[in-house]
Amino acid sequence: MVKIRYAAILLLTFLSATVSAEGFKFITMSDSRGPYNGVNDSVLTKIVNHILKTQKGVKFLIFAGDMVNGHENNPELTFNELMHWKEVMKPVYESPDFVWPKIWPVVGNHEIRHRKDEDNFRKAFPDVFANGPDDERGLSYSFDFGNSHFIIVNTDRWYYGDPDDTTDDRRDWHYVKHLDWLEKELSAAKKRGAKHIFVFSHEMAFPTGGHLRDGLPNLTRNLVLPLDSTRIWYLERRNKFWELLKKYNVDAHICGHEHLYARQSVDGVYEIITGSSGAPLYEFNPRYRENPDTVYPGEEMSYGKAVKYYQVLKYNYGPGKNSQASENFFGLKAFNYTVYDVQDDYVLVETYGGFLKEGTHNILGTEIKLIDKFYINKN
């Protein structure tokens, strides 16, 4: 009898260890700004309801920035919008299935439009680890969960300049400032034996639609060749960022900023843009067509103008090419959220989304369904 009980305890111990090592799920989404108190309540609520109704076993959600519109001249209003966003997200905050802090926030450019906005963000989202670089506390941070390490890096900050000079004061965005901190994080996670590493920021390294002119390459509105020293600086910084992700075998860089769903593996690291849970949807980078100088509805620029950007970014362009960084690019113009089922040897990535109501740019017109599924294999 004693032997049986002992065996049962052993079995239970084994099972519980196996269960905890079996993996976990998390969700990413981004960009919910809209017309109701800075938020697209309607789409965001439908997505939240879909998550709570259909996704089981999810432990937390990471929101990759641009929750709200924000205001250049009214930081109090921006703070109120963030509070309103939290109200819309209340079902997630109150879900007993999610674990503390339930939603991990990433700062976006729309949250940083005034010198008080970084503090606004910290005040709105106090529940993050204060383990980032000194000047990015609450904006860059990291944590472990299960067999994985999560790193949130800021791409949208404020430059405070000389406190006595009111003109020396501006947005400072489109780059990862603390690459040294990122490398220490990556290296330490590898040494601890993390099976997976996920890196998050608001802005993407490889623009796919709507932001060819900015994002981390930051090529600007009117690109002039040869590149000036400022353009080269941003591009080199973007390249160093991606080199680090490659060096430490990061699973994916997950971001927003572009209001669409896109994923591609660039030199072995996935970039996943999980970019609209309410913000107006974007078109993808213009592809080769018969009339290269025509700007087609919703596109950022004509194909003819985009070619210069593709050349600098080393994208695939021309007849039959996809105008993207990688030939394995897949994207949909859809409102979306993505679920990651993290196991030891692989991550199953499933994206759920819905499409626009005809003739609109920010109204969900279809049911939310599975729209993409792929695996990130670690072996």
Q: Residue type at 279?
A: A
Residue 81 DSSP label: H
Q: Which one, of 73, 70, 96, 97, lies nearest residue 82 by Cα?
A: 70
- Minimal distance, residue 279 CB to Fe ion, in Å: 8
Q: Which is nearer to Fe ion, 109 or 362 (CB)?
A: 109
- Minimal distance, residue 220 CB to Fe ion, in Å: 16
Q: Which is nearer to Fe ion, 109 or 148 (CB)?
A: 109
How many chain residues are in contact with Fe ion, going by CB under 5 A?
A: 4
Question: DSSP string spanning 208-267?
Answer: -SS-TTSTTT---SS--SSPPHHHHHHHHHHHHHHHHHHHTT-SEEEE-SSSSEEEEEET
- Which residues, 6 or more positions from 271, have their beta carbon under 8 angstroms from its beta carbon? 204, 205, 206, 252, 253, 255, 262, 263, 264, 265, 325
**Three-state SS at 100:** coil
Binding status of residue 157 toward Fe ion by CB under 5 A: no
d(CA 117, CA 123): 10
- Which residues, 6 or more positions from 277, have their beta carbon under 8 angstroms from its beta carbon? 29, 30, 31, 32, 40, 43, 44, 47, 335, 336, 337
Only segment of 15-23, 61-69, 302-310, 321-329 that touches Fe ion (CB under 5 A): 61-69
Q: Which is nearer to Fe ion, 189 or 272 (CB)?
A: 272
Binding status of residue 322 toward Fe ion by CB under 5 A: no
Q: Give me 41's structure tokens.
A: 């309540």
| The one among 78, 109, 326, 338 contacting Fe ion by CB under 5 A | 109
Only segment of 80-88, 93-101, 102-110, 144-152 that touches Fe ion (CB under 5 A): 102-110
d(CA 55, CA 52): 6
Q: Which is nearer to Fe ion, 44 or 189 (CB)?
A: 44
Only segment of 37-45, 66-74, 79-87, 96-104 that touches Fe ion (CB under 5 A): 66-74
- Minimal distance, residue 175 CB to Fe ion, in Å: 14
Q: Which is nearer to Fe ion, 136 or 156 (CB)?
A: 156
**Residues 155 and 175 sit within 8 Å (Cβ to Cβ):** yes
Q: Which is nearer to Fe ion, 109 or 142 (CB)?
A: 109
d(CA 70, CA 78): 5
Only segment of 11-19, 65-73, 119-127, 326-334 that touches Fe ion (CB under 5 A): 65-73
- Minimal distance, residue 291 CB to Fe ion, in Å: 30
Contact pattern for Fe ion over residues 158 through 197, marking x by CB under 5 A:
----------------------------------------
Cα dihedral 105/374/99/128 (nearest 10): -20
Q: Which is nearer to Fe ion, 211 or 287 (CB)?
A: 211
- Minimal distance, residue 214 CB to Fe ion, in Å: 9
- Minimal distance, residue 136 CB to Fe ion, in Å: 17
Binding status of residue 66 toward Fe ion by CB under 5 A: yes
d(CA 277, CA 297): 22
d(CA 232, CA 240): 12
Residue nearest to Fe ion (CB): 257
**Residues 224 and 249 sit within 8 Å (Cβ to Cβ):** no
- Minimal distance, residue 110 CB to Fe ion, in Å: 6
Binding status of residue 257 toward Fe ion by CB under 5 A: yes
Q: Which is nearer to Fe ion, 195 or 257 (CB)?
A: 257
Residue 287 DSSP label: P
Only segment of 58-66, 276-284, 304-312, 361-369 that touches Fe ion (CB under 5 A): 58-66
Only segment of 5-13, 53-61, 62-70, 276-284 that touches Fe ion (CB under 5 A): 62-70
Only segment of 56-64, 79-87, 101-109, 234-242 that touches Fe ion (CB under 5 A): 101-109
**Residues 182 and 198 sit within 8 Å (Cβ to Cβ):** no
d(CA 104, CA 302): 37
- Minimal distance, residue 65 CB to Fe ion, in Å: 6
- Consecutive H or E run containing 347: strand 346-354
- Minimal distance, residue 344 CB to Fe ion, in Å: 34
Residues that bind Fe ion (CB under 5 A): 66, 108-109, 257
